[in-house]
Structure 1
Amino acid sequence: MPLAPGGGRPYAWAWRRCFPGHRSQLLRERTLSEETRTGNPPLPFLLGRPQVSEEVTLLVTSSVVGVGAGLGAIALRWLISFFTRLSFSDLGGLLAPVLGRFHVILLPALGGLLVGPIVYFFAQEAKGHGVPEIMAAVALKGGRIRPRVALAKSVASGITIGSGGSAGAEGPIAQIGAAVGSTVGQLLKMSDERVANLAACGAAGGIAATFNAPIAGALFALELILGEFSAAYFGTVVISSVVASVVANSVLGSGPILKVPAYSLVSPFELLLYLLLGLLAAPASLVFVRLLYFLEDKFDDAKMPPYLKPALGGLGVGLIGLVLPASLGAGYGTMEQALASKLSLLLMVALLVGKIVATSLCLGSGGSGGIFAPSLYMGAMLGGTFGTLAHLLFPSLTAAPGAYAIVGMSAFFAGAARAPITSIIILFEMTGDYRIILPLMLATVVSTTLSQHLQRESIYTLKLARRGIRLRQGRDVDILQGITVAEVMTRNTDAARSDWPLARLEREFARTRHHGLPVLDEQGQLVGIVTLQDLERARAAEHPEQLTVADLATKDLVVAYPDEPVALPLRRMGARDLGRLPVVERSNPRQLLGLLRRQDIIKAYDQALFSRRLVTSTADKLRLVQLPRTQLAEVEVAEGSPAAGNTVAKMGLPRDCVLVWIQHEGQTIMPHGDVVLHAGDQVAAMVRTEQVERFLALFRDARPAEPPQAEPPMASDNGARAKQSVTPGQGVN
């Protein structure tokens, strides 16, 4: 959705231009009742005072999110240290006398045994590296993330990394910070754009605080989370990033994460070598990406309880750690050795391969952690290996291998994440060394360009693309990606029996006027699909009267699943020129749930397009309409309110109230009288000033015994009454 100046909803911005001060008045009325119930003036009340401008509100909220992200980074660092001591000192001290060096195998497995239930039963969003979940929440859910994700991700990642799992803290702290920002925005009842902005602020603050990199933290949020460098977001993201860095530095210190010797460009000839390093980093990073998702698929297909899979992956990590102990954990100490040119050629090659496999096992099995630190590790080993060979061949023309290790870190991560600006800046801030900028920029850009040519999706967007969600630059997503098959499929569809003769099938086609029917066996299980074309071909066969539906049905089916976006089966239908797909359960592909037809998708597209146009065109209408004593009221449906579970027509809306839009699970829908409202839905309406409190009461107070009586509709601009009568609670039709 395009943003108005300041980043808010376009129609809300236009309404503020027409009626200055209406939002402050509404926030004041909305929160006074909250203060009455709780006895304490909540933060929205303080922010809703007339003298507080929107700019000050954004400054305060982004700063609050920065403080929360900084504290989250401190807590995560403490958790990782705590579980590291618990695993390798306390538990390791007990196991080592019994198992010797083989106790290392058990530590990551035991960590996975604890992480699995936390992720599976408490917050499944905490699985894996976390950044794709933030990107999806910002693009499709208005930045709304469950608060429990922050707690689950903190504990699960602390255990994973602390027990030796091959993962980093970047993904976890970004998700923790984003959850903090999202929670603040939701508590303040902000718009989706503001909540998404605060989620990005939290991610930026988390990265900045963890790596002491405020500039890179801001760029990370803009380049990866939001997907655009917009003035509407830049200020708040930078503020949050700086505040989080200050908070973390006050506790953790302000020195660079990695200590490196001074390197510089020895000769112009080296630029050719750095260019070649960039060309090598791109395919190497893609090997890591593909192995990660290959193993994730294998673990997903494994016939075992999901909460036990991280333990199996941890066992594999432990086996690698037995041979290569330096591959365990985040590995910053080993990286510093590579940057100081202290590792041998063969050891760096072994650590590169071992780290790729260990990280893929750890995260692919469901462990919780980030890919940033492992990517830097792999890049350091790749660059160090390349630099060692280059220095052996051209000792007088090249710098020490450590210089190539620094450049390799940036090039490898940029190839995997497609974030060249973030890669360059974060290496500068982590090392405190700006003297090798030219080769670092060259290799990073070359790696990014080549990796985009070799594979369209990054390590972050590939996870979403596999779910049917494809984010474009600027996060403008296909409108069908926000609609699931279950929302638009035809349920209780007609079906043919597999033992029917052709004459019976012909009568069924004539009765239903369908061009295709699913075929069920005697037990009601799906066995195929039959079309009119199949029937026509069967008529031309010898002895068609001896054929049954089972003889001509297509049994090699292309199916759809109820939880996937409509955009995904639409591509399957286009590739095979199909007019319909049976919708089945993932766990039981023979259980027919419904049928997805082309007309269903067309209808869904029309509805989604209308919703988008409704939102974007409301701003233009509000610029032209200037009604006296009228406000744009925005409210969330509370659990147990008169609105929850009721249709719009039966709510009992007050006089002079017209619903503008309803948002349900991130989708904007047209307010019809038969639309059912649910707890958590967002509702906006044009309401007379004197009716605002009565309108808000429908969404927050206890359910009344009798609904309010019907009242006349609101007068139009010229003072005449609307011709259409309004029943109790009827909205815009």
Structure 2
Amino acid sequence: MWRFSNQNKAWKRKALVLLLQFYRKTRNFGIFAPEFIKLTLQKFLISLNLNQDVPFLFVAIAVGWGTGLIAVIFHDLIDFVHFIFFGSLKGSFELTGLGEYWMFLIPILPAAGGLIVGLYNTYIAKSKPGHGLAAVIKAVAQNEGKLPRWDWLHRTFTSVISIGTGGGGGREAPIAQVGAIIGSMVGQILRFSPDRMRTLLGCGAAAGLASVFNAPIGGVMFAIEVILGDFTVKTFSPIVVASVIGTVVSRSFLGNSPTFQSPDYTLVSNIELIFYFILGVLSGFSAVAFIKVFYIIEEKFIELRERHTLPPWAIPAIGGLLTGVIGIWFPGVFGYTYEVIDKAVKGTESWTNLIGVYVFKPITAGLTIGSGGSGGTFAPAMKMGAMLGGMFGSLVHFIFPTFTATSGAYALVGMGAVTAGVMRAPLTVILILFEVTGKYEIVLPIMFAAVTATLIARVSYRHSMETYVLEKEGVRVGYGIALSVAENISILEVLRTNFVQFSEVTRAEKIINIFHNTSDTTYFVTNEAGGFRGVITLDEMRLLLSEGMIAGLIAEDFCNKEVPVLYETSRLDEALKYFEIGDYDALPVVSKKTNKLIGIVKHDTAFAYYRRQLKFYSEDGTSFK
């Protein structure tokens, strides 16, 4: 038997050492991105003496560019699939002289699309039907912004097939989800922190929606208001950059024309605001009806799937078939076209279509998406709202022609109001409508109607389109956090008792001296009995140091008494909400009975503890500690 000599053994050890070194260099970034490339890039950026956030902006630019490019491909593929399925069928019937009969074959087309999507999800993607934006929001709140890396490819394919073949979903939410996945994928590859990961996820979502609507500001607000729930400045700049880049890429290929060709609009009379308020009320109730109808249909399909009477890949075909039957008489329910919105906004749509699309649009959205097809609910809500506004505007203008605008103006406002009620995102809708129409005059009416619709919808039904499915899974979200996790954590678990504390009569000179000799940035002021009086932050210290005369000043003279207060009975979610909406480094914890300061909660400690606790919660939000 042949044996290794000592020389061979030495060569083998050397080869193993080299292999191990190569593995260490490449394990973090893959074979094609070894560690030295990252180090070289870091040294280059350091040599430029840039702010630490500037390199991150370049990553946001890359995410925006990639998402914008995919949005263009997404748009063109939907048009291509639509032409293949609908255009070729209609053309062949016209060539044979049977053009008037081709419409009766329409149900076959969305059924075929549903069948393709069902087979793809079952045997290739191997994933269950789900709600894209809900998954994104859940990833932000509960999974450090991490999404499956290759889901963008599956989502793109299924959405293109489902929408292009006549499904009832819209194209906006899918491309926003695709963008979010791209942002998350880039963050995972570069091993960013959870905060950076969430921001990149928001960058992709903003760029996706901005690319579809040609509305960069609306895309930014969508990411902040709907996806992240985070209005802090640190997330704003990269999201703006990504949204603008995504829009620029989209405009380069698809042009700069507005999404909806609306006529010139003017507020004829201030009395009209009363009618827009009424339209907002009607839109709020319509939004609730949309959500309820959608989920009633979806739950019927879930029951059908759980009974196993049909293979799971066949169920989306049933939803597509039923959608196609409705589309024979009301083609405006199909997701690939905005024609029905354009006609309503121009005031040229018939009452038959206005009523039909208003009634059947939430049904077809539920049939397509609820059965396991792909698409979003943004466009379906817009169509329902445009139909409601068109009907309401026609009636109002008929009764009060002298001081009301034509029905098209009400269709435009109704489109935004119902969408705001469904998504619970009035700011996003206001900005998108302003951008897609390019008309400043529309802002005041849409503000009136969108805010009213959101309030009515929220009071009437606590679930939005996305929070319904999340709470069904046991996940409550808000402010970019998983409330279902944070509300089960006592504030006492993150309480700190070592902090800088001053009496209300402490002289300013002593406070300044301690300020220069401690790293703390927030100091707490109490009275002689230990009762909480206020805080001194860097803002108060800057004011104090800028004054020429500080002699005679005491802590009570310049401490900030208008700060949120937590109690020993408070839960962690309350503190996290305050930290998200306000610029607080630390908050006081006070006894409810005595008002004595018993400790503080620091921003970084609270969020670090919250994220550690997330690891003890299962996917459905239940603890298994």
Question: Could you state the TM-score of these two structures normalised by the residue count of structure 2?
Answer: 0.71
AA in 2 matched with 1:219:
M
| Contact map agreement 1:35 1:42 (CA 8 A) in 2 | no
Query: In structure 2, what is the Cα distance between the partners aligned to 1:107 and 1:277?
Result: 36
Query: In structure 2, what is the Cα distance between the partners aligned to 1:223 and 1:360?
Result: 25
Displacement of 1:333 after TM fit? 1.3
Choose from 221, 227, 230 the match for 2:229.
Answer: 227
1:208 aligned counterpart, secondary structure: helix
* Change in CA separation of 1:148 and 1:343 when aligned onto 2, cut-off 3 Å: same
Choose from 432, 444, 454 the match for 1:426.
Answer: 432
2:312 maps to which residue? 306
Query: In structure 2, what is the Cα distance between the partners aligned to 1:393 and 1:662?
Result: 58
| Contact map agreement 2:78 2:160 (CA 8 A) in 1 | yes
Choose from 323, 346, 351 the match for 2:352.
Answer: 346
* Change in CA separation of 1:124 and 1:286 when aligned onto 2, cut-off 3 Å: farther
| Contact map agreement 1:108 1:314 (CA 8 A) in 2 | yes
Displacement of 1:356 after TM fit? 2.1
Per-residue CA deviations over 1:33-86 (Å, capped at 9, x if unaligned) read 768965856764454334465212211111111111111111111211111111
1:145 aligned counterpart, secondary structure: coil
Displacement of 1:122 after TM fit? 4.1
When structure 1 is superposed on structure 2, of 36-45 and 341-350 the one drifting more is 36-45
Choose from 85, 88, 104 the match for 1:87.
Answer: 85
2:56 maps to which residue? 58
Q: Tell me the matched-pair count.
A: 472
* Change in CA separation of 1:126 and 1:207 when aligned onto 2, cut-off 3 Å: farther
* Change in CA separation of 1:84 and 1:101 when aligned onto 2, cut-off 3 Å: same
Q: Does 1:385 align with 2:387?
A: no
Choose from 405, 408, 416 the match for 1:402.
Answer: 408
Query: In structure 2, what is the Cα distance between the partners aligned to 1:317 and 1:300?
Result: 17
Query: In structure 1, what is the Cα distance between the partners aligned to 2:607 and 2:359?
Result: 55
Query: In structure 2, what is the Cα distance between the partners aligned to 1:37 and 1:351?
Result: 53
Displacement of 1:370 after TM fit? 0.9
| Contact map agreement 2:297 2:363 (CA 8 A) in 1 | no
Q: Does 1:417 align with 2:417?
A: no
Q: Give the number of the structure whose residues are more often helix, by fraction.
A: 2
Query: In structure 1, what is the Cα distance between the partners aligned to 2:36 and 2:322?
Result: 50
1:284 maps to which residue? 286
| Contact map agreement 1:201 1:236 (CA 8 A) in 2 | yes
Query: In structure 1, what is the Cα distance between the partners aligned to 2:391 and 2:607?
Result: 58
Displacement of 1:476 after TM fit? 4.7
Q: Does 1:117 align with 2:119?
A: yes
AA in 2 matched with 1:251:
F
* Change in CA separation of 1:104 and 1:30 when aligned onto 2, cut-off 3 Å: same
| Contact map agreement 2:430 2:450 (CA 8 A) in 1 | yes
Displacement of 1:329 after TM fit? 2.2
Query: In structure 1, what is the Cα distance between the partners aligned to 2:154 and 2:301?
Result: 21
Query: In structure 2, what is the Cα distance between the partners aligned to 1:65 and 1:43?
Result: 20
Choose from 153, 159, 175 the match for 1:173.
Answer: 175
Alignment of 1:16-55 (within 5 A): 38=32, 44-49=38-43, 50-51=46-47, 53-55=51-53
Displacement of 1:443 after TM fit? 0.7
Alignment of 1:434-449 (within 5 A): 434-449=440-455
1:672 maps to which residue? none
When structure 1 is superposed on structure 2, of 345-354 and 412-421 the one drifting more is 345-354
1:357 aligned counterpart, secondary structure: helix
| Contact map agreement 2:142 2:482 (CA 8 A) in 1 | no
| Contact map agreement 1:167 1:374 (CA 8 A) in 2 | yes
When structure 1 is superposed on structure 2, of 380-389 and 247-256 the one drifting more is 247-256
AA in 1 matched with 2:317:
A
AA in 1 matched with 2:445:
P
* Change in CA separation of 1:95 and 1:359 when aligned onto 2, cut-off 3 Å: farther
Query: In structure 2, what is the Cα distance between the partners aligned to 1:260 and 1:319?
Result: 30
2:183 aligned counterpart, secondary structure: helix
Displacement of 1:330 after TM fit? 3.9
AA in 1 matched with 2:448:
L
Displacement of 1:133 after TM fit? 0.9
Query: In structure 2, what is the Cα distance between the partners aligned to 1:471 and 1:37?
Result: 38
* Change in CA separation of 1:347 and 1:34 when aligned onto 2, cut-off 3 Å: closer
Query: In structure 2, what is the Cα distance between the partners aligned to 1:357 and 1:165?
Result: 11
Per-residue CA deviations over 1:673-694 (Å, capped at 9, x if unaligned) read xxxxxxxxxxxxxxxxxxxxxx
1:273 maps to which residue? 275
Displacement of 1:477 after TM fit? 2.2
Displacement of 1:174 after TM fit? 0.8
Query: In structure 2, what is the Cα distance between the partners aligned to 1:297 and 1:618?
Result: 38
1:469 maps to which residue? 475
Q: Does 1:240 align with 2:242?
A: yes
Displacement of 1:478 after TM fit? 2.6
The runs of 5 or more residues in structure 2 that have no matched partner are 1-22, 490-600, 618-625
Relative contact order higher in (CA < 8 Å, ≥ 6 apart): 2
Per-residue CA deviations over 1:547-602 (Å, capped at 9, x if unaligned) read xxxxxxxxxxxxxxxxxxxxxxxxxxxxxxxxxxxxxxxxxxxxxxxxxxxxxxxx
* Change in CA separation of 1:662 and 1:31 when aligned onto 2, cut-off 3 Å: farther
| Contact map agreement 1:128 1:367 (CA 8 A) in 2 | no
1:69 maps to which residue? 67
Query: In structure 2, what is the Cα distance between the partners aligned to 1:230 and 1:157?
Result: 33
2:106 aligned counterpart, secondary structure: helix
Displacement of 1:119 after TM fit? 2.7
| Contact map agreement 2:82 2:336 (CA 8 A) in 1 | no
| Contact map agreement 1:177 1:199 (CA 8 A) in 2 | yes
AA in 2 matched with 1:253:
G
* Change in CA separation of 1:328 and 1:387 when aligned onto 2, cut-off 3 Å: same
Displacement of 1:374 after TM fit? 1.2
Query: In structure 2, what is the Cα distance between the partners aligned to 1:57 and 1:328?
Result: 43
Query: In structure 2, what is the Cα distance between the partners aligned to 1:449 and 1:382?
Result: 18
1:165 aligned counterpart, secondary structure: coil
Question: Could you state the TM-score of these two structures normalised by the residue count of structure 1?
Answer: 0.61
| Contact map agreement 2:63 2:183 (CA 8 A) in 1 | yes
1:726 maps to which residue? none
When structure 1 is superposed on structure 2, of 325-334 and 423-432 the one drifting more is 325-334
Per-residue CA deviations over 1:403-462 (Å, capped at 9, x if unaligned) read 000110111001111000001111111122221221111011111111110011111111
The runs of 5 or more residues in structure 1 that have no matched partner are 1-28, 484-612, 621-659, 670-733
Identity %: 39
Query: In structure 2, what is the Cα distance between the partners aligned to 1:37 and 1:414?
Result: 46
1:196 maps to which residue? 198
* Change in CA separation of 1:264 and 1:125 when aligned onto 2, cut-off 3 Å: farther
